[in-house]
Every structure is written in structure tokens, then in C-alpha cells.
Amino acid sequence: MHLITTIIVIIAVILKGDWKNWEKFHTTMLYIALCNLAYNFLTANYFLWRLDADFLSNHSLTEMLYTFIVFPATVLMFLTHYPKSIKKQVLHNGMWITIYILWEAFFLLTGRIQYQYGWNIWWSLFILCLMFPFIRLHHTKPLLTYVLSFIFTVLFILFFDVPVHIPVELR
């Protein structure tokens, strides 16, 4: 199902993404990839959620599809069609949050995602309510977004008691 998701996203971005102006969104595409890589690195031995590979060989390859294709393509589509009025912005964010949470609910029902250590779909909804505004914020104020992302990351690590091990060389 994750490979099918990737194919659907590729088709959608070809049809709806602004490929001619991809450079305008490039740094935010990298930001979202960095966020997913950071999650996978920080929780490597303590995943709060974990995508179960279908016919792909393992979790890492599945995550690479999302990190390097699905999430950057989402950024391209999300920012390409970002509206100007506040009301339309709220609706635009709501539409993307709804798409993502429904997709995740489907994955949960079909056993394609597992939650652990107190994580649940409501936490995912909360993250999505941060993620999409942060995507837009990064496009306009990247430094502020990095600071806020760091703060929220630390708060989530503390709240979910994620064991982050500092290598001996860095102590």
C-alpha cells in the first residue's frame, strides 16, 4: 500500500504540482525531508509510530519513499495552491490535514501502521495540525520554523519519554 501511495502522489504532483517553479519550494521540500529523517533517527529504537512495509523489503525503504518522494511532493502541491485569504488558508490546511488523517486511519485499519508508547491517531492529528502550518511558515520564515520545530521536538521527546542516547564521543 505504501508503494501505491507513492505512485498516487507522483501522479497527483504531475497533474497538480507547479514543476516549473519547484525551486521556489525546494528548501521547504528539504525541511520536510529533514523532519522525517530526524524522527527516524531520534526514535530508531523507540518508534512512536512505525510504517509496516508491504511488499517492500523493510521499514527503512518504506520510510525513504515517504522522506524523498511523498512528503516533498506534498509540499510542492500544498504550497503551489496556497490561497491568499485567511478563510481559504484555513480551508486549505483543513483539506490537507483531512487527507492525511484519513489516509493514516486507513493504514491503521489495514495494519500498515503501528502505534507504540502511548502514540495514537489523535496525536497524529495534532502533528498534522502543526505540520501543514509549519510547511507554510517555513516557506515564509524558515529560521522561526526551525526554532519552533526544535522546541516541539524536545517537548515530544520529553512527553513520550523517548530515550535519546548521546554518543560517548559527544559527551
- Residue 141 included in any domain: yes
- Residue 7 included in any domain: yes
Please give the torsion angle defined by the CA atoms of residues 77, 83, 87 and 91, in that order, rounded to the nearest 10 degrees.
-10
In this predicted structure, the answer to whether residue 52 has a pLDDT above a threshold of 60 is yes
Q: Give the pLDDT of residue 32.
A: 98
- Residue 105 included in any domain: yes
- Residue 100 included in any domain: yes
- Residue 171 included in any domain: no
- Residue 168 included in any domain: no
Domain range for 61 is 2-18+26-163
What is the number of other CB atoms lying within 10 angstroms of the CB of residue 158? 10
pTM for the predicted model, two decimal places = 0.91
In this predicted structure, the answer to whether residue 171 has a pLDDT above a threshold of 60 is no
User: How many domains does one find in the chain?
Assistant: 1
- Residue 170 included in any domain: no
